[in-house]
């Protein structure tokens, strides 16, 4: 099993100043300690605020090891970081500074919508700006590395972590992956101490957990892995992400954290990634629980041979690597290379010259949730919301009496699972924001109506009373933030029954009913979608969410979000995604009409999702016409231009996302019925028309063949342009 792993030769190591200065004098124990990442409690002093994001257990790690550890997770606060770093340097014999890491996934103090919401904005520039703001707030608080972006492709809304992803499409996820990395890191990570290093996660295919159950088995072909699940990680690596985090799951039967094919052959050798690889929390030790190592020692061996540099929160490396080297089972040079990659990252961050880097108590006091940052959050929250239904109820009109009812009517739990230092107390709540925007605050009557998972007679009575004089009922419903996120998986993805009861009760009043949803996943909207006259998907909109939603509800902003993940008809349909294969017996209404039983369908539900990828309504309407291609024959290495004219046929300015899809009609392997290849947002005034041009290249038609080669095939292609993966104009072209 201990096949020699290619290691750089001695000469290349000895050419490295960091090697000569720090690594050569190190003992094996000190080298192993540099690979250790400890959570904040190991550095906690009274008054600290540290984040625990995984199971804490006694690691049996003593003071000297802590003094030699390479990095820490979950410490924030300039003063605290400065104190910890100074104490560390006083005790660390070699004077190597600590690397401070944390999960800043969608905001630090200014919290942005959850990434699934940001994915629905189709606005990578604004996403990048949100990452830049998050980086700045984190950097002045002493953070050096963020464990973001999470770019796992997701197709199963039962999985709690879909909220952390930008959705089901490899191309859209790649666009956002690049945008987030560029926002976090900027152009010059050494010179610009307002940026932080990005750590793309979770490598790889974590979102395919069977049954949508977190940490469950993942098993897929290498072709599927490369075709769908890897592109976004590759985009992040190509954008210069400094770190990659391994995932908890298996890939081709091997835990990702001990998977040499995935981490060395593919990530390092094929992709040329020379940054730091960190395990997810305890994932090295968990190789044993997976059944791929007898004990921690074998787990440490597998992880090191696979190229994992940092051991997050287990003692596997610290307890076993020195012994493995002494036993000749691990070449010391492998250990040296891992330490060198970590020291190079510290050097790139400027920590040897300035161990405190961007930590700045004065700046911290000044920029957290400053007006400029809040404005970015509000804008992104507005653009992340998706109008799923609207039959004449929205936008609300000034002067209308509104009954705002539901557990989210005035709730601060609108930040989402990964909002760490976000403050639910100061988050802008929907009720207060609507009262501020209404001509008369008294026009907005607020009632809780129900809890998240319970409803009382008093709450029902209060709801009926609030609704009594209302012109419109706005129900603010959803999942508590603990009902998604890590280990937040649900088998039944409807709203809790108590809230469905509230919907029925309010429906019986006969009054116009608008529903605003706060949730971390596409829901099964049975009991909501049909009952409501309007449905606005808010996701967890972040610290400015209330204001953003009030603006949308009152029409100060026009919803422009488009779904980046399908809403299933019901959980029984899952996984349901737009870029599926045709099958040999594809469903068609005609075949069903003929009573053909033997086609791919259910007896009890439709095949199509309730709402498809790319879908979203507006307060205005758009017409697509005049689809034309610059040519109907594309050559190898060539491209064609697609033009379509979009007209705002409504009465309100709006932003439309023009989407371009293709279908490779016959491939060497089966090909999806649609694949997103380009998109462009256009803002149109009422009556305004715009010819929108999008380019499609032959390179974008390349796919992984059965032998994993990447190429396109001459032949017929269908091309689609429109407002969603369902609502499109169609044309054809040939690749010759």
Q: Would you tell me which residues interact with ligand GLC (CB under 6 A)? A: 53-54, 73, 103, 147, 201, 280-281, 486
State the nearest-atom distance from the C-beta of 611 to ligand GLC, in Å: 28
Q: Quote the least distance from Cβ 39 to ligand GLC, whole Å.
A: 8
| Three-state SS at 611 | strand
Q: Find the DSSP H helices in 239-370.
A: 260, 286-290, 296-306, 316-326, 332-348, 361-367
CB atoms within 10 A of CB 636: 12
Smallest gap from residue 100 Cβ to ligand GLC (A): 13
530 is catalytic: no
* Alpha carbons 258 and 276: distance in angstroms, whole number: 15
* Cβ-proximal residues to 397 (8 Å cutoff; 6+ apart), any chain: none
Integer Cα distance of 309 and 278 in angstroms: 6
Q: How far is the CB of 568 from ligand GLC (least distance, A)?
A: 25
Question: Considering beta carbons, is residue 121 or 279 the nearer one to ligand GLC?
Answer: 279
Residue 172 Rama label (left phi>0; alpha psi -120 to 50; beta): alpha
Comparing CB distances to ligand GLC, the nearer of 142 and 406 is 142
Nearer to ligand GLC, 176 or 281 (CB): 281
Q: Which residues pair with 659 in a beta bridge?
A: 679, 722
Q: Cβ 242 to ligand GLC, closest distance in Å?
A: 15
Residue nearest to ligand GLC (CB): 53
Q: Give the list of residues 6+ apart from residue 602 with CB closer than 8 angstroms, or none.
A: 572, 573
| Other Cβ atoms closer than 10 A to 40 | 21
**Closer residue to ligand GLC, CB minimum distance, 360 or 486:** 486
Contacts of 79 (CB under 8 A, 6+ apart): 361
Q: Which is nearer to ligand GLC, 181 or 535 (CB)?
A: 181
CB of 280 to ligand GLC, least distance (A): 5
Closer of 156 and 280 to ligand GLC (Cβ): 280
Phi and psi at residue 480, in whole multiples of 5°?
-65, 150
Output 286 or 544, the one with its CB closest to ligand GLC: 286
Q: Are 463 and 508 in contact (CB under 8 A)?
A: no
- Are 414 and 541 in contact, with CB atoms under 8 Å apart? yes
Name the strands in the sheet holding 689-697, side by side, starting at the edge strand that comes first in the sequence.
622-629, 639-648, 689-697
CA distance 197 to 218: 28
632: tokens are 């109907």
Q: How many CA atoms lie within 13 A of 240 on its CB side?
A: 14
Give the tokens for residue 557.
Answer: 């902003």
Look up tokens 């050798």; give the residue: 269
The catalytic position among 169, 280, 296, 524 is: 280
The least CB distance from residue 143 to ligand GLC, in Å, is 13
Counting runs of H as helices and runs of E as strands, what totals does the chain give? 22, 26
Listed in sequence order, the residues at least 6 apart from 584 whose beta carbon sits closer than 8 Å to its beta carbon are: none
**Nearest CB to ligand GLC, comparing residues 102 and 475:** 102
- Find the distance separating the first CA and the last CA of the chain, reported in whole Å: 47
CB of 137 to ligand GLC, least distance (A): 18
The answer to whether the beta carbons of residues 141 and 112 sit under 8 Å apart is no
The DSSP-derived string for 500-523 is: HHHHHHHHTTTS-EEEEEE-SS--
> Shortest Cβ distance from residue 494 to ligand GLC (Å)?
26
Distances (CA, A) of 206 to 146, 214, 572: 19, 9, 21
Phi, psi torsion values for 617, nearest 5 degrees: -100, 170
Which segments of 62-183 are extended strands (E)?
Answer: 71-73, 99-102, 145-146
Q: Rounded distance, CA 626 to CA 644, Å? A: 5
> Contact, 138 vs 359, CB < 8 A?
no
Helix (H) or strand (E) holding 381: helix 371-384
Instruction: Please state whether beta strands 728-735 and 715-722 pair in parallel, antiparallel, or not at all (unpaired).
Output: antiparallel
Shortest gap between Cβ of 193 and ligand GLC (angstroms)?
Answer: 22
Determine the Cα–Cα distance for residues 18 and 398; give it in Å rounded to an integer. Answer: 66
DSSP class of residue 669 equals S
Smallest distance, Å, CB 486 to ligand GLC? Answer: 6
CB of 278 vs ligand GLC, minimal distance in Å = 9
Q: Quick one: tokens of 99?
A: 């690397």
CB closer to ligand GLC out of 53 and 174: 53
> Which CB sits closer to ligand GLC, 100 or 613?
100
Considering the complex, state which of residue 22 and residue 281 has its C-beta at the smaller distance from ligand GLC.
281
Which helix (H) or strand (E) covers residue 231, if one does?
helix 231-238
Of the two residues 54 and 240, which places its CB atom closer to ligand GLC in the complex?
A: 54
Give me the active site residues, please.
Answer: 280
């Amino acid at each position: 099993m201990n096949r020699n792993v290619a290691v750089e030769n001695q000469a290349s190591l000895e050419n490295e100043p960091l090697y000569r200065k720090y690594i050569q004098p190190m003992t094996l124990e000190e080298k192993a300690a540099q690979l250790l990442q400890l959570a904040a409690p190991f550095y906690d002093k009274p008054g600290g605020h540290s984040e625990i994001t995984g199971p804490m257990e006694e690691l049996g790690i003593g003071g000297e090891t802590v003094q030699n550890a390479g990095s820490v997770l979950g410490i924030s606060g300039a003063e605290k970081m400065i104190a910890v770093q100074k104490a560390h340097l006083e005790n660390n014999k070699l004077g190597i500074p600590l690397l401070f890491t944390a999960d800043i996934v969608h905001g630090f103090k200014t919290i942005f919508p959850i990434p699934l919401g940001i994915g629905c904005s189709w606005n990578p520039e604004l996403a990048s700006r949100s990452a830049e703001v998050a980086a700045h707030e984190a950097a002045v608080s002493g953070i050096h590395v963020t464990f973001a972006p999470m770019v796992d492709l997701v197709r199963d809304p039962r999985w709690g972590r879909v909220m952390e992803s930008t959705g089901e499409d490899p191309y859209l996820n790649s666009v956002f992956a690049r945008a987030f990395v560029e926002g976090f890191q900027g152009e010059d990570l050494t010179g610009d101490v307002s940026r932080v290093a990005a750590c793309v996660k979770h490598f790889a295919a974590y979102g395919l957990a069977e049954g949508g159950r977190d940490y469950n088995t993942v098993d897929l072909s290498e072709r599927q892995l490369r075709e769908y699940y890897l592109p976004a990680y590759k985009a992040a690596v190509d954008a210069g992400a400094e770190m990659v985090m391994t995932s908890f799951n298996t890939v081709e039967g091997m835990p990702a954290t001990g998977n040499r094919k995935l981490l060395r052959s593919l990530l390092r050798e094929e992709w040329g990634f020379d940054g730091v690889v960190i395990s997810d929390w305890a994932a090295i030790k968990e190789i044993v629980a997976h059944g791929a190592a007898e004990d921690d020692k074998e787990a440490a061996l597998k992880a090191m041979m696979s190229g994992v540099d940092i051991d997050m929160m287990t003692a596997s490396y610290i307890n076993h690597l020195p012994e493995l080297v002494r036993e000749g089972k691990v070449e010391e040079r492998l250990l040296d290379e891992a330490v060198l990659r970590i020291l190079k990252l510290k050097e790139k961050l400027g920590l040897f010259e300035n161990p405190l880097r961007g930590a700045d108590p004065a700046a911290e006091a000044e920029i957290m949730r400053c007006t400029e940052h809040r404005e970015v959050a509000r804008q992104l929250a507005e653009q992340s919301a998706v109008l799923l239904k609207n039959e004449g109820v929205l936008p609300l009109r000034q002067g209308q009496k509104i009954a705002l009812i539901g557990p989210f009517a005035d709730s601060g739990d609108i930040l989402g699972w990964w909002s760490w230092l976000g403050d639910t107390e100061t988050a802008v709540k929907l009720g207060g924001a609507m009262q501020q925007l209404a001509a008369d605050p008294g026009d907005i009557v607020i009632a809780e109506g129900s809890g998240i998972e319970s409803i009382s007679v008093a709450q029902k009575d209060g709801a009926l009373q609030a609704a009594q004089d209302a012109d419109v009922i706005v129900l603010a419903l959803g999942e508590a933030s603990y009902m998604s996120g890590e280990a937040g998986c649900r088998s039944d993805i409807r709203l809790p029954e108590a809230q469905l009861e509230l919907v029925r009760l309010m429906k019986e009043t006969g009054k116009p009913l608008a529903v605003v949803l706060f949730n971390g996943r596409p829901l099964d909207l049975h009991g909501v979608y049909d009952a409501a006259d309007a449905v606005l998907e808010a996701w967890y909109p972040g610290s400015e969410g209330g204001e953003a939603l009030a603006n949308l509800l009152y029409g100060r902003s026009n919803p422009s979000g488009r779904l980046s993940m399908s809403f299933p008809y019901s959980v029984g349909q899952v996984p349901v995604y737009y870029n599926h294969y045709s099958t040999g017996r594809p469903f068609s209404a005609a075949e069903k009409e003929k009573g053909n039983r033997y086609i791919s369908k259910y007896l009890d539900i439709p095949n199509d999702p309730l709402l498809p990828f790319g879908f979203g309504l507006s307060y205005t309407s758009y017409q697509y016409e005049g689809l034309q291609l610059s040519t109907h024959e594309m050559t190898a290495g060539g491209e064609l231009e697609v033009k379509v004219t979009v007209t705002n046929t409504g009465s309100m300015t709006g932003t439309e996302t023009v989407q371009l899809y293709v279908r490779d009609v016959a491939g060497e392997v089966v090909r999806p019925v649609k694949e997103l290849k380009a998109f462009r947002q256009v803002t149109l005034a009422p009556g305004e028309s715009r010819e929108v041009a999008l380019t499609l290249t032959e390179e974008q038609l390349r796919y992984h063949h059965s032998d994993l080669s990447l190429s396109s095939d001459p032949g017929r292609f269908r091309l689609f342009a429109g407002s969603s993966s369902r609502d499109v104009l169609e044309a054809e072209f040939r690749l010759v």
